[in-house]
């Protein structure tokens, strides 16, 4: 790179420095000229000296230019970015000191530091009885910790700074730094290890807080330790979900883990994740474990490993314990009264008495989760259904709890209002069906028709003028063109009333409000059959009119010599063969129906449901439904055969049911088997080729759903485990036209953490 290129790359300050040097040189040259003029006295000598001075000045200027360009002073460009966290070079008092009797601790670092999120990151173990945290102050390369209250005597303290300490320039954080000291003559040094995982996903939980309480502080009736008691020690899980409690004593502990979502270090049911252990634990009676540090790889730093962890916490989100109350009541459709409660337990409604309608018309339906209850209004006649009032008042009595948590009956009066909306109005501005709304719609409808008639007139006048010009007629006005009926074939069309049909409007009148969903894929998976879910409960199902046929290929009525010369589409016709089937109707909810048949792989079927086969409680009937579909080809899918083993005879868990979930690697459930038992064999067919994993849930209450735990009731969440192969791990490969067997020993599976 030349001098000219070097100058372009320099900083402005460097160029300014060079110009300053040049100015100094010019000043020296001018001074030299004055001195020279003073030395030479005669005119000839002065003239000769002037010639030399001008020539020398040019050389000086050239040298200054070279000096400025190639020898300018530049700022240093710097080295690689600082990626190292600050290091502790000294503490006052020393780390792990004993007989500490002060209220201040000073931490000295090798560079300037700053604090980030110290209120959320810092943990003091044991915490202050008043809940006050020490005050942190940054002074250059030091952090000063001041206790507002003098630490308890004879106690080992641990100040965990978490990731709050960082260097002042780049923000590199000093992770998981802790300062330990004792106000007594010795340190508490017993150790326990553990792991925190999510109860549902089995993933490690980072940053969970682990609380060690005295066993005597726990209550066997109402678990209030996490709300009222003071923890003896608090620790935090690392990036692997592991923790190491290192300041414990020889005593029994009741241990809890909590993932604090809002950072206030207090447990809030329904917001924070919680886990508890059923027994008390003493560090002197725990099994041994191995601990090592894995070296850093790529961007990942060194990680701590513990095998096996002594304690395992399965964190869950607890449904908050609260008194039963009604959150909302509404009437989304005319025949339905909906009540939403604040908890998911099955609601105990003592009485439900409506005003203005017969109570025998009501039929109750509970939601899947239990927090929602529907009452369907089923009048015996269509006339009575049409005369249902827009507002229904109901006197309801249901079970709740008093201030001391004893059951009591609560009575309320609820109003259910049903509003009729104009289906033709824009969805963003739905208006009720009132006289005022009708008048507004009428005016707007007339304006819209007038504008459309005006557009049609202009269009037809343009066409008429073209026809008139081609016929050689003289130039005429618009009124004359409209009056000449010979220009149009349809002379009886009223140009002021012609209107384009509304989008979605049927010629026969209002659309059919009967609604349902068909839960079936195309191609159809035979195990799923054809399921239909209706918007309203059904009064009648005339299954004898439903027709299911299998479509087979048949030759057209052509001579044999002509069949080879005609296209395949023209020579092949679909022949419908009746197929036997059964209809399973859910008589409890009366809103679900399943059509089952002996489906043949890779065959085409046709389903015909004539109109009025279904009649719902609102006396609405279905329209004709026609559908053709194909059954999936078994050769293009894989099959999994799951065998559950274990449970010696007489085992208390031998009657436990399980939920088997066949999932993709991203957690999507493809197949689900409920009420599985040990010793059973379960065949999952029609699995698309992919890598899967098997999740097994211990369904203790047999409701077919995973149930969370309760801290108040000391009920653990139902356990979930993922089946793992000793070599390939969780992945299970399903191939086309291939059977894969999975042997699940539930004793061994749930014996692991």
Question: What's the pLDDT at 691?
Answer: 94
76-99 pLDDT per residue, tens = 555 677 778 899 999 999 999 999
Task: Give the pairing type, strands 311-317 and 190-198.
Answer: parallel
Pairwise CA distance, residues 120 & 661, whole Å:
38
Question: What's the pLDDT at 634?
Answer: 86
Res 507 pLDDT > 60: no
Pairwise CA distance, residues 166 & 163, whole Å:
8
- Average confidence score pLDDT of the chain: 81
Query: How confident is the model over 634-654, as a mean pLDDT?
Result: 76
723-735 pLDDT per residue, tens = 999 888 999 999 9
Percent of the chain with pLDDT over 90: 48
Q: DSSP secondary-structure letter at 503?
A: T
Which class for 366: exposed (0-12), middle (13-18), buried (19 or more C-beta within 10 A)?
middle
Res 753 pLDDT > 70: no
Radius of gyration from C-alpha coordinates of the chain: 43
Res 114 pLDDT > 50: yes
> Do residues 236 and 265 make contact, with C-beta atoms less than 8 angstroms apart?
no
* 370: alpha, beta or left? (left if phi > 0; alpha if psi -120 to 50): left
> Do residues 638 and 687 make contact, with C-beta atoms less than 8 angstroms apart?
yes
* 27: alpha, beta or left? (left if phi > 0; alpha if psi -120 to 50): alpha
Query: Which residues are registered as beta bridge partners of 401?
Result: 407
Question: What's the pLDDT at 299?
Answer: 67
578-591 pLDDT per residue, tens = 999 999 999 888 99
Residue 302 makes CB contacts below 8 A (sequence gap 6+) with 293, 294, 295, 296
Structure token digits, residue 78: 């710097």
Question: What's the pLDDT at 501?
Answer: 47
Secondary structure element (H or E) that encloses residue 483, with its range? helix 478-483
Q: DSSP secondary-structure letter at 719?
A: P
Question: What's the pLDDT at 193?
Answer: 96
pLDDT band (50, 70, 90) for residue 444: confident
691-724 pLDDT per residue, tens = 999 999 999 988 888 999 998 888 999 999 999 9
Question: What's the pLDDT at 113?
Answer: 94
523: preceding bond cis by omega (within 30 degrees): yes
Pairwise CA distance, residues 142 & 106, whole Å:
7
Res 253 pLDDT > 50: yes
Nearest Cα to Cα of residue 581 among 611, 553, 608, 552: 608
550-589 pLDDT per residue, tens = 998 764 444 444 444 444 444 457 788 999 999 999 988 8
Pairwise CA distance, residues 537 & 615, whole Å:
9
137-154 pLDDT per residue, tens = 999 999 999 998 889 999
Question: What's the pLDDT at 8?
Answer: 38
Question: What's the pLDDT at 330?
Answer: 92
3-class SS letters over 92-136: ECCCCECCCCCCEEEEEECCCEEECCHHHHCEEECCCCCCCCCEE
First CA to last CA distance, the chain: 65
Pairwise CA distance, residues 38 & 36, whole Å:
5
Question: What's the pLDDT at 46?
Answer: 47
Question: What's the pLDDT at 19?
Answer: 38
Q: What is the dihedral of CA 402, 406, 407, 412, to 10 degrees?
A: 0
Question: What's the pLDDT at 410?
Answer: 93
Res 37 pLDDT > 50: no
Question: What's the pLDDT at 234?
Answer: 93
Query: How confident is the model over 336-350, as a mean pLDDT?
Result: 88
Question: What's the pLDDT at 434?
Answer: 52
- Give Dmax over CA atoms of the chain in angstroms: 139
Secondary structure element (H or E) that encloses residue 7, with its range? helix 3-9
Residue 686 makes CB contacts below 8 A (sequence gap 6+) with 525, 526, 527, 632, 634, 637, 639
Structure token digits, residue 610: 């004539």
Instruction: Looking at mean pLDDT, say which of 340-354, 437-451, 467-481 comes out highest.
Output: 340-354
Question: What's the pLDDT at 682?
Answer: 95
Res 640 pLDDT > 70: yes
Question: What's the pLDDT at 290?
Answer: 93
Query: How confident is the model over 216-234, as a mean pLDDT?
Result: 72
Question: Could you give all domains of the chain from N- to C-terminal order, each with its CATH number?
Answer: 3-70 (no CATH), 86-187 (2.60.40.1220), 188-318 (2.60.40.1120), 326-417 (2.60.40), 424-500 (no CATH), 516-632 (2.60.40), 635-751 (2.60.40.1120)
Res 397 pLDDT > 80: yes
pLDDT band (50, 70, 90) for residue 56: low
Least confident of 31-35, 204-208, 360-364: 31-35
Query: How confident is the model over 335-351, as a mean pLDDT?
Result: 88
């Amino acid at each position: 790179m030349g001098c000219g290129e070097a100058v372009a790359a320099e900083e402005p300050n460097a160029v300014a420095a060079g110009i300053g040097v040049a100015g100094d040189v010019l000043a020296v040259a001018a001074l030299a000229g004055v001195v020279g003029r003073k030395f030479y006295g005669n005119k000839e000598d002065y003239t000769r000296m002037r010639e030399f001075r001008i020539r020398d000045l040019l050389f000086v200027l050239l040298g200054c230019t070279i000096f400025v360009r190639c020898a300018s002073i530049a700022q240093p460009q710097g080295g690689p970015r600082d990626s190292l966290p600050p290091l502790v070079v000294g503490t006052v008092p020393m780390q792990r000191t004993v007989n500490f009797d002060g209220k201040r601790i000073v931490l000295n670092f090798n560079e300037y530091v700053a604090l980030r999120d110290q209120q959320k990151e810092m943990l003091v173990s044991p915490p202050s009885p008043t809940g006050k945290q020490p005050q942190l102050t940054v002074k250059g390369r030091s952090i000063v910790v001041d206790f507002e209250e003098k630490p308890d005597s004879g106690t080992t303290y641990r100040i965990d700074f978490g990731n709050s300490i960082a260097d002042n320039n780049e923000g590199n954080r000093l992770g998981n730094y802790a300062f330990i000291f004792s106000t007594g003559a010795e340190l508490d040094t017993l150790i326990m290890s553990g792991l925190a995982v999510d109860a549902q996903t089995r993933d490690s939980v980072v940053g969970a807080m682990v609380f060690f309480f005295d066993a005597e502080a726990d209550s066997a009736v109402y678990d209030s330790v996490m709300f009222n008691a003071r923890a003896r020690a608090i620790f935090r899980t690392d990036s692997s979900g592991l923790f190491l409690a290192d300041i414990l004593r020889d005593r029994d502990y009741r241990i809890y883990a909590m993932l604090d979502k809002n950072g206030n270090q207090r447990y809030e049911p329904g917001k924070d994740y919680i886990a508890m252990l059923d027994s008390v634990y003493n560090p002197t009676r725990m099994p041994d474990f191995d601990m090592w540090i894995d070296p850093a790889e790529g961007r990942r730093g060194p990680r701590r490993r513990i095998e096996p962890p002594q304690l395992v916490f399965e964190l869950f989100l607890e449904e908050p314990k609260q008194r039963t109350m009604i959150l909302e009541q509404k009437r989304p459709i005319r025949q339905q009264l909906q009540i939403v409660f604040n908890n998911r337990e099955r609601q105990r409604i003592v009485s439900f008495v409506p005003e203005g309608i017969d109570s025998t018309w009501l039929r109750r339906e509970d939601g899947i989760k239990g927090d929602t209850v529907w009452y369907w209004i089923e009048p015996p006649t269509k006339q009575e259904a049409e005369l249902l009032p827009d507002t229904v008042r109901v006197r309801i009595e249901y079970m709740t709890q008093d201030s001391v948590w004893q059951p009591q009956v609560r009575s309320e009066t609820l109003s259910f209002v049903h509003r009729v909306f104009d289906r033709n109005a824009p969805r963003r501005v739905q208006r009720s069906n009132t006289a005022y709304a009708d008048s507004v719609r009428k005016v707007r409808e007339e304006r819209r028709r007038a504008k459309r008639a005006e557009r049609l007139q202009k269009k037809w006048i343009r066409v008429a003028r073209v026809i008139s010009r081609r016929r050689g007629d003289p130039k005429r006005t618009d009124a004359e063109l409209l009056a000449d009926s010979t220009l149009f074939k349809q002379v009886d069309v009223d140009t002021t009333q012609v209107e384009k049909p509304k989008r979605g409007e049927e010629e026969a009148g209002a659309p059919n409000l009967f609604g349902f969903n068909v839960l079936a894929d195309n191609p159809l998976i035979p195990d799923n059959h054809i399921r239909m879910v209706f918007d309203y409960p059904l009064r009648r199902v005339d299954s004898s009119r439903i027709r299911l046929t299998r479509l087979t290929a048949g030759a057209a009525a052509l001579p044999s010599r002509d069949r080879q010369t005609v296209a395949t589409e023209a020579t092949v016709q679909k022949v419908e063969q009746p197929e036997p089937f059964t209809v399973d109707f859910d008589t409890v909810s009366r809103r679900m129906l399943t059509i089952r048949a002996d489906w043949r792989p890779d065959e085409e079927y046709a389903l015909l449901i004539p109109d009025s086969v279904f009649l719902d409680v609102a006396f609405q009937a279905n329209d004709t439904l026609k559908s053709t579909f194909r059954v999936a080809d078994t050769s293009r899918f894989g099959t999994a055969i799951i065998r559950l083993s274990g449970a010696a005879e007489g085992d208390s868990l031998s009657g436990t049911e399980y939920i088997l979930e066949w999932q993709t690697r991203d957690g999507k459930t493809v197949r689900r088997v409920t009420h599985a038992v040990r010793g059973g064999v379960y065949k999952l067919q029609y699995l698309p080729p992919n890598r899967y994993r098997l999740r097994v849930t211990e369904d203790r209450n047999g409701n077919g759903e995973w149930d969370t735990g309760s801290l108040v009731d000391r009920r653990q969440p139902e356990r979930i485990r993922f089946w793992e192969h000793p070599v390939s791990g969780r992945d299970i490969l399903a191939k086309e036209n291939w059977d894969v067997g999975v042997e699940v020993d539930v004793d061994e599976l749930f014996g692991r953490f």
